[in-house]
Chain A
């Protein structure tokens, strides 16, 4: 399956899963679907037959609220049966609304409270350096999550310790929980902030698979520096009435909205 097809399936699953469970955060899942598809479909060294393979690249979804997209990617790439996705957010299920690793092959780390993924990923990257390992550690953050001070501690640490096996990807869709990022706590000049902490920064169009493949292939962007990939994305990408809308951070699609959303995603090239 190519990454485009994988992204399409992730989006379809995410809309269905959040609708079935009447759970939130579909906009956040659609926003990062292409990044996840390129990571699991192409860029990362992973083995669905051996999820704990020691040479695997590590991936942490720090914006755990968008876990539906990661569950979908793992199911579609063979880590567990696609049918299991139907249990998402259902009573008795293991697939919680925020990404959890217990009983779910392929999930490296459970998150849900923002600002936790990068410190842990930094520890994994430090261990990788100590063990002279060749794998990389990818951590995907939301833009709103960058309000958390606990992210800036490992950003300082990773730059200082030159952890060039660490890659932070920011899903920069410019909208957080209640309002646009720029109106909440402005992050700009965002790239400069990371650079001033000793990181190499690359900005990409976060829905362009060619660009994403290329940028992941060139990690680290600079030897001796951790890499920050600022992916410019659209919240709710792929469903026109969800795009760039604060509403769809929390709203769940049902009825005609669900039919329309699925139809638009099915019809997409």
Chain B
């Protein structure tokens, strides 16, 4: 997704001289082409995320469309107050790009696990929160957030759900995409972990369970109509996120449904429960460890439909 982001950003920078990319001294190799081609539209702020975000705000106030870029939590957590008070309160077109959502940098340790970002960012007023599941969504989202006023948060994953674009499909922020039809249950997910969800849906299909799969690329604003339809038309909702279950996708879906007075027949959130991950492991390894890989999703759904309490939930 990272490479897709930068490729699309170069196209945008070519057409719009107001596009500005600021990195917090990260992107070795990745940003070389951009930097060479658009020296006046590139700033390395150094290892200083607070200043990076302040700079972005100042530039945006003078008319630029700014992308701040760093990995995992660095791009939003250290400088959260700058995002809130400076960029968001002043309605600045600042697009905060997190490279490495969830366990993308799993083996690097907890400092590099972006596993609370969606909850934190979606609580900020007037901030659009975007979490693409594949390269196509990542490319299109890059374009879309630049065209959206105010602050946007763009979470890019190392993994990808392949190519989910339907023929002729147009990307639209704030909508939920149906990646697979089914009426037994709906699997609702965001980010690269959608690859696990699609795999699980395939396995379940072979076991005679047809799942609808939704990609929630925009967590905020949330497409409540698509969620309500899923709750009413299928046998329940299971949310899957490479993120804490506290306040993330699952929380957002639950809030939206209950606010709309819609109660799904069944409901389960799959994601991280409490506690930090101090285990070394790749993204694939950690997903399996924390029971959010395709096998665990498949098992959880089967148990749920059989009326058993899910181990995932009990954990």
Task: For A150, list chain B residues within 8 Å (CB).
Answer: 50-51, 54, 82
Question: How many residues of chain B get a CB closer than 8 Å to chain A's CBs?
Answer: 25
State whether A123 and B85 are in contact (beta carbons under 8 Å apart), knowing that A101-B90, A109-B90, A110-B90 are contacts in the complex: no
Is the C-beta of B305 less than 8 angstroms from some C-beta in chain A?
no
User: Which of A30-38, A72-80, A113-121 interfaces with chain B?
Assistant: A113-121
Contact A116 B85 (CB under 8 A): yes
Is the C-beta of A127 less than 8 angstroms from some C-beta in chain B?
yes
Contact A120 B46 (CB under 8 A): no
Centre residue among A130, A131, A156 by max chain B CB count within 10 A: A130
The residue that A122 contacts in the complex, of B40, B55, B64, B90, with Cβ under 8 A, is B55
Contact B54 A130 (CB under 8 A): no
Task: For A111, list chain B residues within 8 Å (CB).
Answer: 85
Is the C-beta of A128 less than 8 angstroms from some C-beta in chain B?
yes
Task: For A118, list chain B residues within 8 Å (CB).
Answer: 54
State whether A156 and B48 are in contact (beta carbons under 8 Å apart), knowing that A116-B82, A124-B62 are contacts in the complex: yes
Task: For B12, list chain A residues within 8 Å (CB).
Answer: none
Please, how many angstroms separate the alpha-carbon atoms of A123 and B310 in the complex? Answer: 51
Is the C-beta of A216 less than 8 angstroms from some C-beta in chain B?
no
Task: For B90, list chain A residues within 8 Å (CB).
Answer: 101, 109-110
Work out how many contacts link A and B, with CB atoms closer than 8 A: 85
Task: For B40, list chain A residues within 8 Å (CB).
Answer: 130
Is the C-beta of A125 less than 8 angstroms from some C-beta in chain B?
yes
Give 6 new A-B contacts, CB below 8 A, not counting A122-B54, A124-B61. A110-B90, A120-B54, A124-B58, A127-B59, A150-B54, A157-B55
Task: Tell me the minimal C-beta distance from B313 to chain A in angstroms.
Answer: 40
Is the C-beta of B86 less than 8 angstroms from some C-beta in chain A?
yes
Whose C-beta in chain A lies nearest to the C-beta of B56?
A123
The residue that B58 contacts in the complex, of A110, A112, A121, with Cβ under 8 A, is A121
Task: For A124, list chain B residues within 8 Å (CB).
Answer: 58-59, 61-62
Task: Tell me the minimal C-beta distance from B234 to chain A in angstroms.
Answer: 44
The residue that A154 contacts in the complex, of B51, B64, B85, B86, with Cβ under 8 A, is B51
Please, how many angstroms separate the alpha-carbon atoms of A260 and B128 in the complex? Answer: 52
Contact A156 B46 (CB under 8 A): yes
Contact B46 A125 (CB under 8 A): no
Type the 1/0 row for B265-286, where 1 means its CB is closer than 8 Å to any CB of A: 0000000000000000000000
Task: Tell me the minimal C-beta distance from A170 to chain B in angstroms.
Answer: 18
Contact B85 A127 (CB under 8 A): no
Is the C-beta of A126 less than 8 angstroms from some C-beta in chain B?
yes
Please, how many angstroms separate the alpha-carbon atoms of A156 and B48 in the complex? Answer: 10
Contact B85 A125 (CB under 8 A): no
State whether A157 and B51 are in contact (beta carbons under 8 Å apart), knowing that A123-B59, A124-B58, A124-B62 are contacts in the complex: yes
Type the 1/0 row for B59-78, where 1 means its CB is closer than 8 Å to any CB of A: 11111100000000000000
Task: For B60, list chain A residues within 8 Å (CB).
Answer: 123
Q: Which residues of B contact A (CB under 8 A)?
A: 40, 43, 45-46, 48, 50-51, 53-64, 81-82, 85-86, 89-90
The residue that B85 contacts in the complex, of A112, A126, A130, with Cβ under 8 A, is A112
- Give the contacts of A230-269 with B (CB-CB under 8 A): none
Q: Sample 9 A-B pairs with CB under 8 A, ordered by A number.
A: A101-B90, A112-B85, A119-B50, A119-B58, A119-B82, A126-B55, A127-B63, A128-B62, A154-B54
Is the C-beta of A153 less than 8 angstroms from some C-beta in chain B?
yes
Whose C-beta in chain B lies nearest to the C-beta of A60?
B58
Contact A120 B50 (CB under 8 A): no
Please, how many angstroms separate the alpha-carbon atoms of A214 and B212 in the complex? Answer: 72
Task: Tell me the minimal C-beta distance from B243 to chain A in angstroms.
Answer: 27
The residue that A131 contacts in the complex, of B43, B53, B62, B85, with Cβ under 8 A, is B62
Contact A120 B58 (CB under 8 A): yes
Contact A123 B81 (CB under 8 A): no
Please, how many angstroms separate the alpha-carbon atoms of A109 and B85 in the complex? Answer: 10
Whose C-beta in chain B lies nearest to the C-beta of A123?
B58
Type the 1/0 row for A127-142, where 1 means its CB is closer than 8 Å to any CB of B: 1101100000000000
Please, how many angstroms separate the alpha-carbon atoms of A125 and B61 in the complex? Answer: 11
Task: Tell me the minimal C-beta distance from A201 to chain B in angstroms.
Answer: 20
Task: For B50, list chain A residues within 8 Å (CB).
Answer: 115, 119, 149-150, 153
Task: Tell me the minimal C-beta distance from B61 to chain A in angstroms.
Answer: 6
State whether A113 and B55 are in contact (beta carbons under 8 Å apart), knowing that A119-B50, A156-B46, A157-B48 are contacts in the complex: no
Whose C-beta in chain B lies nearest to the C-beta of A154?
B51
Contact A122 B62 (CB under 8 A): no
Contact B89 A125 (CB under 8 A): no
Task: Tell me the minimal C-beta distance from B118 to chain A in angstroms.
Answer: 24
Please, how many angstroms separate the alpha-carbon atoms of A159 and B294 in the complex? Answer: 52
